[in-house]
Homo-oligomer: A and B are copies of this chain.
Amino acid sequence: MYEVLLNNIAQKKVELTVAEQQKLKTFFIPKKLRKKQYLLQDGDVSLYTAFVEKGMLRSYTIDEKGNEHIIQFATEDWWISDMYSFFTGESSSYSIEALEDSELLLINRKSYDEMLLAIPKMERYLRILVQNSLIATQRRLSGKLSLSAAENYKNLLNGCNNIVQRVPQHMIASFLGITPETLSRIRKQMATGK
C-alpha cells in the first residue's frame, strides 16, 4: 500500500530506517476516489495534501467567464493539493478532481507538522520535491511568456509525459491555456504541414 511512496522517497536519495518507514505510515490516511469525484471543491479549505499511488487527478480554477484552467495534473508518484490553502487555512480557489479511479494517501495539516517533527529527514524529501515542482512550473511559465501555442504543445509532447495520452484533448488545451478549437487546429497543422 505504501510502496509507491516509500520508493519515491528512496529515489530522492532520502534513506529512511525501517522504524521511520513504519512511523511514516501512521500519518497518512488511504483513500480511494472514483473517476469524477472531488478531493477539493472550490471554496472549501484544502484539508489534505495527497500523494497519488494510482490513477490521476487534476487541479483547476474557474474564471469569471466560466472557463476552466488546469493548474496541474498529478499521476502516480506525484503530490497534489492547493498548497496555499493547505498552509494558510484560507478557502481555496482551486478544485481537485479525479480523472481516473485513483488511490491516494492523504495527510492533514496536523499530521504534516507532526511528521516533520517525528522524521526530520522528510524536510529534505519535501524540499527536493517542491524544488522540482518549482523548476517545472517556471519552465511552463517561461513557455507561456515566450512561445506560441503550437510550440508549447510540441514541448508537452516531447516531454516524456504520458499525460497527453491519458486525458481528453480539451483538458490538454486548458492546461496549455488555449481553447480546444485552437488545439484542434494546431494538431491539424502538424499532421499536414509538417
Contacts and interface: CB of A to CB of B under 8 A. Distances in A.
B141 A71 contact: yes
Interface in A85-112: 87
Nearest to A63: B146
Interface residues of A, number: 29
A97 to B, nearest CB: 17
Interface stretch (A23-31, A131-139, A164-172, A183-191): A131-139
A2 interface: no
A61 B146 contact: yes
List the number of copies, as a whole number: 2
Interface string A46-67: 0000000000000001010001
Given A123-B120, A123-B124, A61 B142 contact: yes
Nearest to A147: B63
A69 B142 contact: yes
Nearest to A87: B131
A140 interface: yes
